[in-house]
């Protein structure tokens, strides 16, 4: 194989990264990379276990001087996000990622690079191969982190003996993540009666909002289009009752909804125009800068449809306006960190029901359960069916983690002259750590990584010098 990275140490780490980049590994397509890891471990004569989902676990016994040291678990995911530029011709199922180096960064030609989380895969393999003495090393390579956390959820952890873990799915040098949020999807479904619609409905469209990630951006002032539509409908209904024909908004549970469309019937267009004019003026003063492109406009709806009764229309409006949405509580430990939140991400209308999807997140499992029970109770009030799915655990913050302390000390010792002050951080997004730690029944853990920018996009790039430092850091942490 011809390598494009040159001049970075240890050479094998960078070579392995290039080798795995030639193996297609989009989420759900991890067989090839699992084959590669297993044959790699077999060549080294190491204990290797692969489950039916292509999760792989490899163990290397302690080296000289580390016979009595506790074992260390290293972990990362083998799948990657497959995104490419519109003009790029690339088949993620079969084609290798085309790498090139540009000004100290490793990049891919027109596609995602897969440093998220190829960095972890390369690190673990290079450490397993390394002749440096170290404690017993247990390496867990999981599948489908980017889509469902199925790998971390399904793995049988009885084989793991370590209770110290470094997850390598973070992208910020100098930062150790010490807590992440758990999550769930809540569905509230209101079964609705339908009656014939005597006129052509009027369509109301909300568009132009900024939106964002339902975890990382939930604390911002950005409006949720579904909620805003609830406000519009509530206002109109107070003036004069009407019949809802349909409502559809947002397309991802984990994104703040940017658009919502509702069709309503048997109401004067003039009343709507008047009320919207007043509301637009109010919003002008309320909206944050990012949402200033908001547009609310009217259109003609589809003819000969069926509509909801007044009662069901009123219930849908209540559900939309009253559903908990946004920040539920803030962390008492971390400054400006959201602890628990929910996002009314998707609203959809079917033949006989209106469904509202809510993404919940929390870094504290008990409060998460409480929020879910609040939503269940809320649904009961309106006779809505409640369904819970996609639950994954939070990684609770633990004070005085020895590993976090080692990280802060060792990073400063090794790279103090760089002027970066290492720190710990909690995030309001999900990591596999929550699932793994709870399955292990507790484990001292941190999530770290080298600098990788613009992940999940074709601009993804890996800082090669940072990756070099990451090797030194992880090796020192393991040997500490
Ligand atoms: Zn990742």
State pLDDT tens for residues 147-206.
Answer: 889 999 999 999 999 999 999 999 999 999 999 999 999 999 999 999 999 999 999 999
Report CA(99)–ligand 1 centroid distance (Å).
19
Report CA(28)–ligand 1 centroid distance (Å).
14
Q: In the prediction, which pLDDT does 470 show? A: 98
Give the list of residues 6+ apart from residue 166 with CB closer than 8 angstroms, or none.
72, 73, 74, 75, 403, 445, 446, 447, 448, 474, 477, 478
**Identified catalytic residue from 19, 30, 79, 138:** 79
pLDDT of 335 over the 90 cut:
no
Is residue 263 exposed (0-12), middle (13-18) or buried (19+ Cβ within 10 Å)?
buried
Q: Indicate if 60 and 167 belong to the same structural domain.
A: yes
Report CA(116)–ligand 1 centroid distance (Å).
5
pLDDT tier at 346, thresholds 50, 70, 90: very high
Contact yes or no for 250/346 (Cβ under 8 A): yes
pLDDT of 10 over the 90 cut:
yes
pLDDT of 212 over the 90 cut:
no
Contact yes or no for 307/194 (Cβ under 8 A): yes
Which residue shows structure tokens 């504290």? 364
**Identified catalytic residue from 144, 145, 189, 432:** 145
Report if residue 319 sits inside a domain. Answer: yes
Q: Indicate if 212 and 287 belong to the same structural domain.
A: yes
Report if residue 3 sits inside a domain. Answer: no
Three-state SS string over the chain comes to CCCCCCCCCCHHHHHHHHHHHCCCCECCCCHHHHHHHHHHHHHCCCEEEECCCCCEEEEECCCCCCCCCCCEEEEEECCECCCECCCCCCCCCCCCCCEEEECCEEEECCECCCHHHHHHHHHHHHHHHCCCCCCCEEEEEECCCCCCCHHHHHCCHHHCCCCEEEECCCCCCCEEEEEECEEEEEEEEEECCEEECCCCCEEEEEECCCCEECCCCCCCCCCCHHHHHHHHHHHHHHHCCCEEEEEEECCCCCEECCCEEEEEECCCHHHHHHHHHHHHHHHHHHCCHHHCCCEEEEEECCCCCEEECHHHHHHHHHHHHHCCCEEEEECCCCCCCEEEEEEEEEEEECCCEEEEEEEEEECCHHHHHHHHHHHHHHHHHCCCEEEEEEEECCECCCCCCHHHHHHHHHHHHHHHHHCCCCEEEECCCCCHHHHHHHHHCCCEEEECCCCEECCCCCCCEEEHHHHHHHHHHHHHHHHC
pLDDT of 1 over the 90 cut:
no
Q: Indicate if 409 and 273 belong to the same structural domain.
A: no
Mean pLDDT over residues 138-142, rounded?
98
Report CA(176)–ligand 1 centroid distance (Å).
15
pLDDT of 453 over the 90 cut:
yes
Q: In the prediction, which pLDDT does 411 show? A: 98
Q: In the prediction, which pLDDT does 86 show? A: 84
Report CA(118)–ligand 1 centroid distance (Å).
9
Q: Indicate if 172 and 307 belong to the same structural domain.
A: no
CATH number for the domain spanning 39: value is: 3.40.630.10
Q: In the prediction, which pLDDT does 388 show? A: 97
Q: What are phi and psi of 237, to 5 degrees?
A: -65, -35
pLDDT of 339 over the 90 cut:
yes
Mean of all residue pLDDT scores within the chain:
95
Tokens of 230: 């609830």
pLDDT of 439 over the 90 cut:
yes
Q: In the prediction, which pLDDT does 308 show? A: 97
Top-confidence residue, 99 or 253: 99
Report if residue 36 sits inside a domain. Answer: yes
Q: Indicate if 401 and 367 belong to the same structural domain.
A: no
pTM: 0.84
pLDDT of 456 over the 90 cut:
no
Q: Indicate if 355 and 278 belong to the same structural domain.
A: yes
Q: Indicate if 247 and 360 belong to the same structural domain.
A: yes
> What residues sit around ligand 1, an ion, with C-beta below 5 angstroms?
116-117, 169
Domain boundary among 392, 423, 458: 392
Q: Indicate if 197 and 277 belong to the same structural domain.
A: yes
Report CA(403)–ligand 1 centroid distance (Å).
21
Q: In the prediction, which pLDDT does 215 show? A: 85
Q: In the prediction, which pLDDT does 395 show? A: 93
pLDDT of 19 over the 90 cut:
yes
Report if residue 168 sits inside a domain. Answer: yes
pLDDT tier at 130, thresholds 50, 70, 90: very high
Q: What is the pLDDT of residues 64-75, one digit of tens each?
A: 999 999 999 999
Contact yes or no for 415/458 (Cβ under 8 A): no
How many structural domains compose the chain? 2
Q: Indicate if 210 and 160 belong to the same structural domain.
A: no
Contact yes or no for 181/215 (Cβ under 8 A): yes
Q: In the prediction, which pLDDT does 319 show? A: 96
Give the list of residues 6+ apart from residue 318 with CB closer than 8 angstroms, or none.
382
Domain boundary among 360, 392, 424: 392
Domain boundary among 348, 374, 392: 392
Mean pLDDT over residues 46-74, rounded?
97
pLDDT of 57 over the 90 cut:
yes
Give the list of residues 6+ apart from residue 278 with CB closer than 8 angstroms, or none.
none
Q: In the prediction, which pLDDT does 254 show? A: 85
> Strands 243-249 and 260-265: what pairing?
antiparallel
First vs last Cα of the chain: how many Å apart?
35
pLDDT of 376 over the 90 cut:
yes
Q: Indicate if 112 and 135 belong to the same structural domain.
A: yes
Report if residue 1 sits inside a domain. Answer: no
pLDDT tier at 235, thresholds 50, 70, 90: very high
Contact yes or no for 232/204 (Cβ under 8 A): yes
Q: In the prediction, which pLDDT does 216 show? A: 83
Q: In the prediction, which pLDDT does 435 show? A: 95
Report CA(169)–ligand 1 centroid distance (Å).
5
Report CA(202)–ligand 1 centroid distance (Å).
44
Mean pLDDT over residues 465-479, rounded?
97
Which domain does 221 fall in, by range? 183-392
Report if residue 4 sits inside a domain. Answer: no
Report CA(90)–ligand 1 centroid distance (Å).
21
Q: Indicate if 274 and 321 belong to the same structural domain.
A: yes
pLDDT of 251 over the 90 cut:
no
Report CA(430)–ligand 1 centroid distance (Å).
10
Mean pLDDT over residues 101-106, rounded?
97
Residue 145: active-site member: yes
pLDDT of 7 over the 90 cut:
yes
Q: In the prediction, which pLDDT does 214 show? A: 86
Report CA(356)–ligand 1 centroid distance (Å).
28
Q: In the prediction, which pLDDT does 478 show? A: 97
Q: Indicate if 256 and 281 belong to the same structural domain.
A: yes
ω into 89 cis (within 30 of 0): no
pLDDT of 255 over the 90 cut:
no
Mean pLDDT over residues 22-35, rounded?
97
Report CA(450)–ligand 1 centroid distance (Å).
12
pLDDT of 425 over the 90 cut:
yes
């Amino acid at each position: 194989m011809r390598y494009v990275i040159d001049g970075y140490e240890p050479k094998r780490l960078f070579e392995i990264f290039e080798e795995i980049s030639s193996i297609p590994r989009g989420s759900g397509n991890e067989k090839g990379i699992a084959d590669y890891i297993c044959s790699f471990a077999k060549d080294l004569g190491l204990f290797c276990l692969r489950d039916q989902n292509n999760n792989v676990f490899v163990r290397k016994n302690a080296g000289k001087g580390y016979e009595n040291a506790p074992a260390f678990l290293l972990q990362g995911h083998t799948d990657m996000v497959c995104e490419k530029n519109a003009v790029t011709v690339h088949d993620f199922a079969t084609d290798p990622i085309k790498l090139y180096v540009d000004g100290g960064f490793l990049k891919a030609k027109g596609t995602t690079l897969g440093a998220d989380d190829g960095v972890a895969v390369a690190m673990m393999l290079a450490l397993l191969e390394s002749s440096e003495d170290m404690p017993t090393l247990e390496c867990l390579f999981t599948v489908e982190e980017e889509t469902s956390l199925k790998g971390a959820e399904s793995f049988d952890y009885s084989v793991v003996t370590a209770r110290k873990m470094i997850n390598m799915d973070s992208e910020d040098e100098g930062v150790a993540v010490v807590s992440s949020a758990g999550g769930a999807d809540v569905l509230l479904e209101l079964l609705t009666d339908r009656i014939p619609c005597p006129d052509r409905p009027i369509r109301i469209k909300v568009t132009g909002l900024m939106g964002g990630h339902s975890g990382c951006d939930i604390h911002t002032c950005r409006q949720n289009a579904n909620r805003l539509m609830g406000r519009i409908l509530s206002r109109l209904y107070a003036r004069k009752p009407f019949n809802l024909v349909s409502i559809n908004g947002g397309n991802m549970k984990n994104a703040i909804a940017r658009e919502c469309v509702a069709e309503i019937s048997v109401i004067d267009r003039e009343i709507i125009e008047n009320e919207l004019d007043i509301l637009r003026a109010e919003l002008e003063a309320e909206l944050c800068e990012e949402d200033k492109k908001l547009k609310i406009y009217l259109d003609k709806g589809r003819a000969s449809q069926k509509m909801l009764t007044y009662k069901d229309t009123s219930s849908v409006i209540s559900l939309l306006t009253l559903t908990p949405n946004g920040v539920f509580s803030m962390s008492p430990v971390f400054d400006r960190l959201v602890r628990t939140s929910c996002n009314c991400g998707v609203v959809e209308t079917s033949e006989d029901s209106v469904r509202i999807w809510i993404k919940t997140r929390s870094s504290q499992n008990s409060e998460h359960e409480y929020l879910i029970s609040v939503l269940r109770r809320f649904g009961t009030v309106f006779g809505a069916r409640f369904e819970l799915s996609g639950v994954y655990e939070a990684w609770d913050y633990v004070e005085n983690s020895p590993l976090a302390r080692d990280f802060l000390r060792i990073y400063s010792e090794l790279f103090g002259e760089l002027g970066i002050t290492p720190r710990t951080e909690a995030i309001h997004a999900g990591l596999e750590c929550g699932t793994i730690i709870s399955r292990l029944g507790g484990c001292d853990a941190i999530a770290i990584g080298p600098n990788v920018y613009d992940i999940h996009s074709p601009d993804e790039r890996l800082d090669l010098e940072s990756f070099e430092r990451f090797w030194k850091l992880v090796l020192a942490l393991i040997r500490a």
